[in-house]
Structure 1
Amino acid sequence: MATGQASSNPVPAMRTHLPVEHPVVVIGPQYLAHYPVELAVSTKAWTLGENNFKVADINGTVIFHVKNKPLTLHDRRFMKDATGNTLVNLRQKIMSVHSKWEAFGGESKDEKDLLFTAKKSKLFQFKADLDVFLANNKGDVPDFKIKGGYAEHSCSVLLGDSNAMLAQVS
């Protein structure tokens, strides 16, 4: 079991890579892998507004589930660990110019449990480019940028406003 992993959560499969130099903890240290992890996303059937999917490692071990709450006033999604515990509550802000989302720890909606916010990089854009601000970031420079998305079948996570790639999804 990797250091910092909760005993009830599976440890993602490890490939031979250099360790991450400066890891950033967003949800909690028990979900931090000190090595690059290859993950696969698979969607389940879409029924009555539901858009649920699972995230697994290269061996097929489920690491996370993402479930949405259909037919509600706010678009809400919940990221759950392999045992079903809610880790993150993603909530779309209504009446936001840049399609802003807020992510809270657990099932909370309380400002003190805010983990990060994400919003479109530009008001009008053709690709899904997002700026991500960690809860303690009150500035204009995002902590991360996500370029690409579901429609492009791939995306990159960049550090701040730089071209330093932290993750790539394809």
Structure 2
Amino acid sequence: MATGQAPFNPVPAMRTYPPVEHPVVVIGPQYLAQYPVELAVNSDFKVSDINGTLIFHVKSKLLTLHGRRFLKDAAGNTLVNLRKKIRTMHRWWEAFRGESEEENDLLFTAKKLKLFQSKTELHVFLGNNKGEVPDFKVKEGYSESSCSILLGDSNTM
């Protein structure tokens, strides 16, 4: 990278899927792909596309009460502060913009659907959604390293 240039975020590899009709921006438009993206998460919590290009990674703060984790982009910028809610029955997580924990920076909450699951299923509610219907569902695939993200209460990937 030339001196003075801002680091860039890699563009995930594209497969032959139809374009997303109504994309939803959660973190920022620079992280929005106009097509479905296949990502892989390895045991070090590094998220890569199908070509092995690093897209995101997760860093943990050890020995914290709320189990804080930080989602960072490929350049190392903190995008999301993930905080486990304590004293909840369904394992709720809260996600805040950057390193914030302010209510007005809440991006989304996610809850594990059942206490005991053979395959993980999460319901994700965007920050302004206080209802019963999730904005997204995350369902574990055939292996722990694969999942599908579905729009709302539908089967739209």
TM-score, reference length from structure 2: 0.86
Corresponding residue SS for 1:55: strand
Corresponding residue SS for 1:65: strand
Report which stretch shifted further, 145-154 or 7-16. Answer: 145-154
Shift in Å at residue 154 of structure 1? 2.9
> What's the counterpart of residue 3 of structure 2?
none
> What's the counterpart of residue 49 of structure 2?
57
Distance 1:117 1:152 in 2: 21
Deviations 1:70-121 (A, max 9, x none): 1111111111011100001100001112111000010000000000000122
Q: How does 1:17-166 map to 2 (within 5 A)?
A: 17-44=17-44, 53-148=45-140, 152-164=144-156, 166=157
TM-score, reference length from structure 1: 0.80
Structure 1 residues 107 and 118, CA, compared in 2 at 3 Å: closer, same or farther? same
Structure 1 residues 82 and 150, CA, compared in 2 at 3 Å: closer, same or farther? farther
Deviations 1:107-139 (A, max 9, x none): 000000000000122345443221110011111
AA aligned to 2:107 is L
AA aligned to 1:75 is G
Shift in Å at residue 151 of structure 1? 6.9
Using CA pairs under 8 Å that are at least 6 residues apart, name the structure with larger relative contact order, 1 or 2: 2
In structure 2, stretches of 5+ residues that fail to align are 1-5
Distance 2:17 2:145 in 1: 24
Question: CA-atom RMSD, angstroms?
Answer: 2.1
Count of residues in correspondence between the two structures: 152
Shift in Å at residue 148 of structure 1? 2.3
